[in-house]
Structures are given as structure tokens and as C-alpha cells.
Amino acid sequence: MEIFVTALTIFVLAIFVGFEVITKVPPTLHTPLMSGSNAISGITLIGAIISAGSQHTTLTSILGVCAVVFATINVVGGFMVTNRMLHMFKKKGN
Amino acid sequence: MSSYIINIAYLIASVLFILGLKGLAHPRTAVRGNLTGAVGMLIAVVVTLWHRQIISYELIIAGAVVGSLIGATLAIKIQMTAMPQLVALFNGFGGGASVLVAGAALVESSGMIAASMTQTTIATVASGIIGTVTFWGSLVAFGKLQDIMPSGAILIPGRHFLNALIGAVAIVLGVLIVMNPEATTMYWILVAVSSVLGVLLVIPIGGADMPVVIALLNSYSGLAAAATGFVLSNNVLIIAGSLVGASGLILTNIMCKAMNRSLTNVLFGVLGPSDEATTADEIYGGKVKSTSADEVAMLFDTAKRVTIVPGYGMAVSQAQHAVRDLTNLLESRGIEVDFAIHPVAGRMPGHMNVLLAEANIPYDKLKEMDEVNSTIEQSDVALVIGANDVVNPVARTDPKSPIAGMPIIDVDKARTVVVIKRSLSPGFAGIPNPLFAADNTLMFFADGKKAFIELVEAVKES
């Protein structure tokens, strides 16, 4: 239970941090913010890596490897496409 | 590597995620913010490879290579006009990964002597439901945006009852799993039921409401990751997931405000004409004036300021480059050109900005709605391309209209309005637009891109 309460504390505080950090986003950045934050939500990748690598049973390995594929698409694609978009904004913007 | 070092690395990654998101919210720091986030991710992934449970790397490498290739190809090849469906797809994959990881953790913990704690199982159930709804909801959104399935609202009779019923079944299944975590099959039944729920929740939402849905699914993909963090007792998942959850909610809120509708109304309400609505014939009858490229070019001859108002139609006809050509041409003749961007124009938050940036239009020309509205009277020509509901003055004048109170771009106050549109068909709200019949409005019936190419030719000749 103690671990759970610690986790809950971190969860609630992180949500507040999120609301405080992201204020007044200019509309130009709505899409990049979404795709960039989406790439960060691909953090599940590390859970997927542990599942795929621990070889507990065949089933968990299959689930793990599928999760690694899904999460890597999310992470790699998300960061790259955000970078591509932001560079378009930069070309003439500054 | 000891778990202390791994956890310290996760802490560093979490800090980098926070700094990255902060950077992404400001124009000057956005590129660096994105890279900061990516570095955080790299650190988290690399130290995880030393996790004591990992005994083999083949599957990890295989999965990572396949995923990276697919992700990179999509990111490099995708056309900017297809960005909404790509973002939807990525959201979905994130949610899907969370479901699988939570499922694998449940299978691993079953049969162990220290059976998983109740709160862990609750988190597994939450991850299963939220992640699956995100996955299927995103796939439906992708299908609608990619025109694989009808993009409008698909309304199933009794859908509220059906959704409530399926939601209740999912909760009952969840409780059963919590009471008996050994029954792992139940988890996959839960996933199946949540899949139906995810599809049903997004199917009735169409067209112009897409920006809200995509922002919301973005938030869900974060919450699913956070729930998986509870399952694995992994703080970096919890932190990163809740940050994304919060940022998605902020965007969702911005989108709802821009339509003057509540989130509940967007998700469960139906936007459509009321019974007593005036018909299109009454409004348009004999009052619509159509125009041609040459006539509009003559308007430009005397104009000092032109305001371009893009909508989803610009994305559909891929007109952004032609729009840029006309902008440059007009500016070379000393005309001031700016762009009025409605927050929900297009199919995702910031859609128009991305397209215009792709066409190399500097972002200081892209004006927000309030800024434009305060000076729109000074515009000689307002050029509307493929926008409809966001320039419908009914939002200001008719309190009974389905879009009543929605903030709009007041193009009707410009000296002359030119609307480029293929026909008089209504926008997503399904109501006629009196702007098209206004005294100072000229209708240029054409495909957006074609119209702009013709305009460029006509201006060059004049």
C-alpha cells in the first residue's frame, strides 16, 4: 500500500506540474505540442522492453515484442515528425 | 546495474520530459524542447536495458528495429495535409502498447506466491480500459480522416444506452479481475469489450469536432501510460504519462472553448440544424453573387490589405502552396496580406498553421482570431478558402442556432468578402451561411487550389 500511495503522490503532483508548465500555448504550436507530447507518452516502451526481455512465458514475450513495436513507432515517429514540423516553422520564422 | 542507478536515470529522464514539454510550449524553444524530450527517452530506454529481469535481447532488438523503421518512414514520408491522421495513429499505438504491457504484467504476476496487490490489479484494469479505448478510438479517427470510412457523424440509434451498457460491462469485468487476478483470460475479455466501447465512442463524432477528439485521445494515451506506471510501480511512466495527460486536457479545453461547447456536448451531443431553422433557399434565394478570377484580381488592384481565412477546404485541395504564391505576388505589389486562423479550423489543433508553415509562410503573418477581429474592418478583401462554420455570422446573431455563441472570424465586416468554395453546401454544423448571400460577399465557385492558381494568373495579367 505504501508503494501505491507514493505512486499516487507522484501522479497527482506530475499532473499539476503538467498544467503549470504548459500554459498559453500559441496556436502555431498546438500540433507540435500534441505530437511531441505523444512521443513522450510512448514511455511505455520501457515497460515493453522489460516484458520482451524477461522471457517469462511465450505469451508475455509475444505481448512484450508487440508492445515494443507499437511503442517504438510511437516514440521514433512522434519525435521525428515533430522535429520535421518545427523546422518548417523555423525556415522563415526567424 | 543496481536499481538505484536505474531509478536515478529515470529521475533525470523525468526532468528532461518536463523541460521538453515546457520548451515545446514556446516558439523560440520548441525545437530544443522536442530534442530534450527525445534525449530523456533515450536515457530511459538505454538504462532499462540493464534491468535485472532482462535475460535476452533478441526480441527487444527485433521489435525496436521494426518499430523504428515504421515510425521513421511514416514521419519522413507523410504529407503535411495528412498530419491529423498520423497524430491519431501515433496516439493509438501508444495506447495499444500500454494495454499489452499491462496485460503481460498481469500474466507474469499470476501464479506467483506473493500475488499482486489489489491496487496493482486496479491499475491493470484502468490501463486495459483507457489504453484500448485510445487504441480503437484513434483507429476510428484515423479511418475517418483518411477517408477509409465515412468522415461524418455515424449515429447509431440508442447509442447512449448502448455505451452506458458496455461501459457497465467493462466495469463489472474490471471488478471481477480485481477480485480474482489469476483469471487472466478475463483481462482479454475486458480488452475486447473496451474495443467495442472505443469504436462506439468515436464513431458518432465527425468532421469539425475532430480537433477535440484528437486532443482528448492524446490525453488518454498519456493516462494509459500513467496507469501502466502504477502496474509496474515505475515512476517515470507515471510522471511522463500524467504530463501528457495534462497537456492533452489543456488542448482539449482550448478546442472546446473555441467552439463554445462543453466537452460532454462534443462527445455525446449532436450538432445539427434545429427544426425551426431557416432553409437554405430562404437565405440564398437570388441573393448569391458569383464571381471569377479576373473580377477578384480587379478588387486586388485597389486593395491595401487582404486577409486570407483558411479552413479544412484548403487542406483537402492541398492549396497551401498556391496560397503562398498569391501571397507573394500581392505583397510584391505593396498589398499587406495576413492570415486569420480560427483555433478549430481544420481537423486537429494547429492544422492550418502547420500547412501554411509547410508552404513557407512566415508565422508572424498568421493572426489569431481576436487580433484579426479587432482590425477586420480595415481589410479591403477577406478571402475565405474552404472555411464555413467558423465564418458564419449566425453564431453572433441567432441564439437558437446550433453554433450560437461560437467565436467566429468576423469576415462579414471586411469591405469585400470573396468565398472560394465548390458549392453552397453547408459545413459540418449543417446550417446555411448568410455570409454567402451578404451584399459585400462574392462567391468564387471552384476547387481551392485551382481558384488560387487562376487568381495568380489573373493578377499577373492585370
Q: Which three cell numbers stand for residue B308?
A: 486570407
Rounded to a whole number of angstroms, the distance from the CA of A20 to the nearest CA of chain B is 9
ipTM for the predicted complex comes to: 0.95
Residues of A in contact with B38 (CB under 8 A): 39, 79
The answer to whether A40 and B268 have CB atoms below 8 angstroms apart is no
Q: Return all residues near B190 (Cβ < 8 A) that are at least 6 apart.
A: B125, B128, B129, B132, B170, B173, B174, B177
| Identity of the residue in B30, B243, B351 whose CB atom sits nearest the CB atom of A40 | B243
Give the best residue of B93, B119, B250 to mutate against chain A (max A CB count within 10 A): B93
Do A26 and A18 touch, CB atoms closer than 8 A? no
Average pLDDT estimate for B120-135: 94
Report the alpha-carbon distance of residue B30 to residue B21 in Å, rounded: 9
- What is the arithmetic mean of pLDDT over B389-404? 87
Percent pLDDT > 90 in chain B is: 63
Q: Inspect the interface and report whether the beta carbons of A17 and B243 lie closer than 8 Å.
A: yes
Would A77 be classed as within a structural domain? yes
Q: What is the pLDDT of residues B298-320, one digit of tens each?
A: 999 999 999 999 999 999 899 99
A28 is a domain residue: no
Task: Quote the domain boundaries for residue A44.
Answer: 35-88
Closest among B241, B215, B32, B246 to A71, alpha carbons compared: B241
Is B275 a residue whose pLDDT tops 60? no
How many angstroms away from the CA of B243 is the closest CA of chain A? 5
Q: Out of B86, B248, B348, whose CB is closest to A81? A: B86
> With contacts defined as CB-CB under 8 Å, which chain A residues touch B101?
44, 47-48, 51, 63-64, 67
| pLDDT above 70 for B276 | no
**Chain B nearest CA to A9, separation (Å):** 10
Cell numbers 507523410: residue: B78
Q: Do B239 and A14 touch (CB under 8 A)?
A: yes
Structural domain contains residue A17: no
B389 labelled catalytic:
yes
* Cα(B276)–Cα(B2) distance, integer angstroms: 71
Shortest Cα–Cα distance, A93 to chain B (Å): 5
Residue B166: is its pLDDT beyond 50? yes
Q: Is B339 in a helix, a strand, or coil?
A: strand
Active-site pick, B209, B389, B410, B447? B389
B-chain residues within 8 Å CB-CB of A79?
A: 34, 37-38, 41
What is the number of helices (H) and of strands (E) in chain A?
A: 5, 0
B128 Cα to chain A: minimum distance (Å): 13
**Mean pLDDT in residue range A2-8:** 88
Chain A positions touching B59 (Cβ under 8 A) are 52-53, 55, 61, 64-65, 68
CB under 8 Å to A43, separation ≥6 — which residues?
Answer: A75, B17, B41, B44, B225, B236, B237, B240, B241
Report, as an integer, the average pLDDT of A35-62: 92
In the sheet that B381-385 helps form, which strands lie side by side, from edge to edge?
B366-368, B336-341, B305-310, B381-385, B416-421, B441-445
DSSP symbol at B150: -
Which chain A residue lies closest to B188 (C-alpha atoms)? A63
Cβ contacts below 8 Å, chain A against chain B, sum to: 385
Q: Which residue of chain A is at minimal alpha-carbon distance from B40?
A: A40
Closest alpha carbon to A50 in B44, B380, B427, B334? B44
Residue A79 maps to a domain:
yes
In this prediction, residue B278 carries a pLDDT of 64
| Over residues A18-36, mean pLDDT | 89
- Residues of chain B with C-beta less than 8 angstroms from the C-beta of A19: 246, 249-250
Answer whether residue A84 is part of any domain. Answer: yes
How far is Cα B23 from Cα B19, in angstroms, rounded to an integer? 6
Q: Which of B312, B297, B381 is nearest to B342 (CA)?
A: B312
Contact A34 B245 (CB under 8 A): no
Judged against a pLDDT cut of 60, whether residue B67 lies above it is answered with: yes
Between B33 and B114, whose confidence is greater? B33
Question: Closest to A79 (Cβ–Cβ): which among B38, B66, B91?
Answer: B38
- Give the β-pairing of B305-310 and B336-341: parallel
Cβ–Cβ gap A51/B248 under 8 Å: no
Q: Does residue B80 or residue B449 have the better pLDDT?
A: B449
Query: What's the mean pLDDT in B249-277?
Result: 77
The shortest CB-CB distance from A85 to any of B55, B214, B354 is to B354
Inform me whether the pLDDT recorded for B274 exceeds 60: no
Tell me how far apart the alpha carbons of residues B217 and B213 are, in angstroms, rounded to a whole number: 6
Per-residue confidence band for A94, with pLDDT thresholds at 50, 70 and 90: very low
Which chain B residue has its CA at the smallest distance from A47's CA?
B101
Say which range, A62-71, B119-128, B263-272, has the weakest mean pLDDT.
Answer: B263-272
Q: pLDDT of B208-221, one tens digit each? A: 788 889 999 999 99
Per the CB < 8 A criterion, the answer to whether B243 and B377 are in contact is no
Between B268 and A75, residue with greater pLDDT = A75
Mean pLDDT of A36-64: 93
What's the domain count of chain A? 1
Residue contact A47–B234, C-beta within 8 A: yes
Distance CA B279, CA B272 (A): 13
Q: What is the per-residue pLDDT for B270?
A: 62
CB proximity list for B205: less than 8 A, separation 6 or greater: B153, B212, B213, B266, B267
Provide the mean pLDDT of chain B.
Answer: 90
Angle at A39 between CA A14 and CA A56, to 5 degrees: 85
Q: Is A86 helix (H, G, I), strand (E, B) or coil?
A: helix
Query: A38 CA to chain B: closest CA distance, Å?
Result: 6
CB B314 within 8 A of CB B355: yes
CB B138 within 8 A of CB B248: no
- Looking at residue B344, its amino acid is V
